[in-house]
Amino acid sequence: MTVVVALHKVSSVPAGIQQTMGLDVGSGVLVSKSGKVITAAPLVHTADQIKVKSLGGEAVGARVVASAPFADVSLVQLEPVPREVVVAKLGDSEKVEVGDEVFVVGTPYGLSHTLTAGHLSARHKLNTLSGSFEEVEIFQTDAAINQGNSGGPMFNMAGEVIGIASRILTKSGGSEGLGFAITSNTAKRLLLEEPSFWFGLDGIVLKDELAAAFNVPQPMGLLVQQIADNSPAARLWIQPGEIKSQIGLSEVFLGGDIILKVVGIEVSEGCYQKIVSRLSQMKPGDTITVKVLRAGRILRLSATRDR
């Protein structure tokens, strides 16, 4: 089994609504012999079913075990784990310099195991990937990245993974030499080193003028877009959006809950890791609480953690 895999998702959305927030096909990279694969959060974070296929191998199932949607990365566990696996080595992204040669392997438009090459164009630290809660370190590259590359590895010339393909800036809809990848150190820290928790929902941060427009009773809230079946969010009966609309240049689903607090922690700048740390310390049977704004009313939802 090769280190680079193609991932396919199946998600449930309300009748008559097309999926716009995620992709159906993407890429990933195997990082452990136990069958853990790093991939793109938009591809799997709210998926009801995940299938993973390697070059020449059979498709196997997978489930999300950790996710950092604000950084566009998730960790999935293969089930079952193939007998023969070749694990990719995660390199130190701090050692990468602007101008270094890099190559990206993935599944652009469903064409599996496609390689593109280029250079590292810049390094950035942004908190605007998803109107994000946290600052995220990313690489910019002129190596071609297209739909389906998301979640695929960016390698240095020593064959080490130094980034995870994330997104592009484009006017045409295709690659224009402005591709971005989450650095390997960021992905490693968020998914493999720090406490992690999969909540199973996709949302949009509301703050400033947007928060005021939605009558959010605090400086920031999270407008729920999609929810995965059998996830903690689903067991809490959190409601996703159902009305397709547009805010600025972004397509969104309106009408869903706006999350205000999770386990007593208010949605705010820098709250994500605090919430994840609190959730990861909880044991099966402990009560998870969420405070939401729904149709102008504030509700408190609760459910027990199952595992």
pLDDT of residue 265: 96
Task: List 183's β-bridge partners, or say none.
Answer: 163
Q: What mean pLDDT is predicted for residues 171-194?
A: 80
Q: Mind listing the pLDDT tens digit for each residue in 69-128?
A: 888 899 999 988 887 778 899 999 999 999 999 999 988 777 777 889 999 999 988 654
Going along the chain from its start, the domains and CATH numbers come out as 4-79 (2.40.10.10), 93-193 (2.40.10.10), 201-304 (2.30.42.10)
Which of 78-82, 148-152, 234-238, 272-276 reaches the highest mean pLDDT? 234-238
Nearest CA to 177 out of 138, 119, 124, 136 is that of: 119
Instruction: Kindly indicate the confidence band of residue 300, based on its pLDDT and cuts at 50, 70 and 90.
Output: very high
Number of H helices, E strands in the chain: 5, 20
Answer yes or no: is pLDDT of 20 > 50: no
User: What is the model's pLDDT at position 127?
Assistant: 58
Integer Cα distance of 206 and 213 in angstroms: 9
Q: Binning pLDDT at 50, 70 and 90, where does residue 18 land?
A: very low
Q: Note the residue count of the chain.
A: 307
2 band by pLDDT with thresholds 50, 70 and 90: very low
Q: Report the pLDDT value the prediction gives residue 271, as an integer from 0 to 100.
A: 87
Q: Residue 29 — very low, low, confident or very high, per pLDDT cuts 50/70/90?
A: very high
User: How many whole angstroms separate alpha carbon 146 and alpha carbon 165?
Assistant: 9
pLDDT of 209 > 80? The answer is yes
